Amino acid sequence: MPPGGIAPRPPRPPRLEIEEEEGISERQAVRIARRRGMVEVERVRRGRDVWIVTGTDGYGDDMRIVIGDDGEVLDIRRD
């Protein structure tokens, strides 16, 4: 411990620019799906440059929402 009793914090590693290039997170995809009417999320999977969120709406009907990496909803299907 240095004099004075307070140790300096180690420097933070630099943020990687890759984070922005990868697009939205799984959590963000689920939030977007919920805003589009999905009440119960059953599965979230990653496709090529998209998130595919499946679940049910408030009426119990099955839903599938495809969300692009930029957060744009590309497709909504209800069964």
Show the DSSP H helices in the chain as ranges: 18-21, 26-35
User: Could you give the CA distance from residue 71 to residue 47 in angstroms, rounded to a whole number?
Assistant: 14
The per-residue pLDDT of the chain, averaged, comes to 86
Model pTM above 0.75: no
- What band does 59 get if pLDDT is binned at 50, 70 and 90? very high
How large is the average pLDDT for residues 7-13?
A: 65
3-state per-residue secondary structure call for 44-57: EEEECCEEEEEEEE
What six digits make up the tokens of 65? 């929402």
Query: According to the model, what pLDDT value does residue 45 have?
Result: 97
Q: Are 38 and 53 in contact (CB under 8 A)?
A: yes
